[in-house]
Amino acid sequence: MKPTDRSCIVIGGGISGLCAAYWLTQENYNVIVLERDAAPGGAMKTVRKDGYLIDTGPNSSLETTPLFNELFHSLGIIDRRVYANENSNKRYILRNGKLHAIPMSPGAFLKTKLWSTKGKLRLLKEPFIGRANGEESIAQFVERRLGREFLDYAINPFVAGVYAGNPEELSVRSAFPKLYRLEEVYGGLIKGTIKGRKERKQRAEQSKQSAKMFSFIDGMDTFSNALGSVLGDRLILNAKVDSINKEKHGFTVTAETTEGKKQYSAQQIILSVPAHHAAHLLTTIDSSISDILSKIYYPPVTMVFLGYKTDVISQPLDGFGYLIPAKERRRILGTIWSSTIFPKRAPDGYAALTTFVGGSRQPEVTDHDEATLRDIVHDEIASILGVSEEPDFYYLKEWKRAIPQYKLGYAETTERIEQFEQSHPGVYLCANYRGGISVGDCVTSARRTVDIIVQKG
């Protein structure tokens, strides 16, 4: 049977797929979402246990796009959104075993021991450095523009915190397009930051530095669950898509569901699954795009959440948390002080600390069993924060393939994806391996995909 023109199957009910499906329904499309898991949200999941609230994937989001406000209003969850505690602007980096606050004012910059005088003076050269000759990693870009010390003790830990990535491998152009543009368009980071403010104002966008950080009083899954509720029976859970077939009119998708194998047809499909799953599903349609997608690397990351009595921690938890440069040779990437940032993350008198291990830097650390990982993380936290007792609570979540790495040469991957979409009308790829990995990026990419579909009619 010929499916109606305005019909779409979204494969994958993570935040990208849910937003795309929601907006398509607003455009009067006939939509279903097929999601493999028993709950919507993909990486966006919240666990509530023993008085703790644990976001096992994204812990927060930056309000980088006005789409958030629009969505939260129409989903009726705007009142449940919470902004991060003001203290959270304070972030620490570990150097020589000690936490140093990242300076937020010129005075603090001059005083900080996070960087040496030589390292600070090196920053003064930045406006006089020309453009790159070819593609660079974020490490090459930062070392050239800002010097080695800034790479080691600012950007290296930052890349671990955002991508769980390795700065030597990630493409500055693809993984940090806004930073890249500052050089490309304005000729430098300092010049670009000043001039770029105007542009963003016109687009009503917020830079990542100035955007407010938010979550929800009941955790990040408030967002994905609200989208799931509005979609209602158009969201089919426990439905793992096995194959996609191109038909004369549209597509047929076969999924393993709780009621056995089922087939669904639609005029268009959006693949909102991780790249390796998309690679598998597209083999029958275009083996060369499958090959490209299967090569996108997602390192493993384990989230280790520990709860401590507040009075056994000597370091005041007066900020967002800390990040750890590779040079410090620790076995963790960094720790978020969850109960400082948002309310109700831990019972009264207890602190909730969320630590990430693994990533591209040390994928092998995630191979340890749960008990060993808990001990590793506790030992590191105890030495950094001065903790005198064992944790009272722990919870671990292993992400075997956590975050796509936009490595050197990624622009070609993106281009091939675009060419694929052009040569296969009706198939769209919309997930975090394209257009950015943050929640804000995923929401923006979903809106862009829907706009393209609607425009094509």
Site residues (CB under 6 A) for ligand FAD?
11-17, 34-37, 42-44, 57-61, 240-241, 272-274, 277, 301, 303, 399, 402-403, 431-432, 437-439, 442
| Min separation Cβ 389 and ligand FAD, Å | 27
Which of 102/437 has CB closer to ligand FAD?
437
Q: If 0-12 CB within 10 Å is exposed, 13-18 middle and 19+ buried, where does residue 233 land? A: exposed
Which of 403/450 has CB closer to ligand FAD?
403
DSSP for 388-408 reads -S--SEEEEEEESS-S---BT
Token pair, residue 298, equals: 């997602």
Q: Are 167 and 156 in contact (CB under 8 A)?
A: yes
Which of 146/443 has CB closer to ligand FAD?
443
Which of 15/353 has CB closer to ligand FAD?
15
Cβ neighbours of residue 229 closer than 8 Å, sequence gap 6 or more: none
Which of 13/157 has CB closer to ligand FAD?
13
| Residue with token string 């003076």 | 121
Cβ neighbours of residue 314 closer than 8 Å, sequence gap 6 or more: 385, 386, 387, 388
| Min separation Cβ 120 and ligand FAD, Å | 29
3-class secondary-structure state, position 180: helix
The conformation of residue 313, written as its DSSP 8-state character, comes to: B
| Min separation Cβ 36 and ligand FAD, Å | 4
Sequence length of the chain is 457
Which of 125/400 has CB closer to ligand FAD?
400
| Min separation Cβ 424 and ligand FAD, Å | 18
Cα distance between residue 154 and residue 100, in whole Å: 11
| Residue with token string 């370091």 | 315
Which of 289/439 has CB closer to ligand FAD?
439
| Min separation Cβ 304 and ligand FAD, Å | 11
| Min separation Cβ 143 and ligand FAD, Å | 26
| Min separation Cβ 301 and ligand FAD, Å | 5
Token pair, residue 410, equals: 């990624």
Single-letter code of the amino acid located at 144:
R
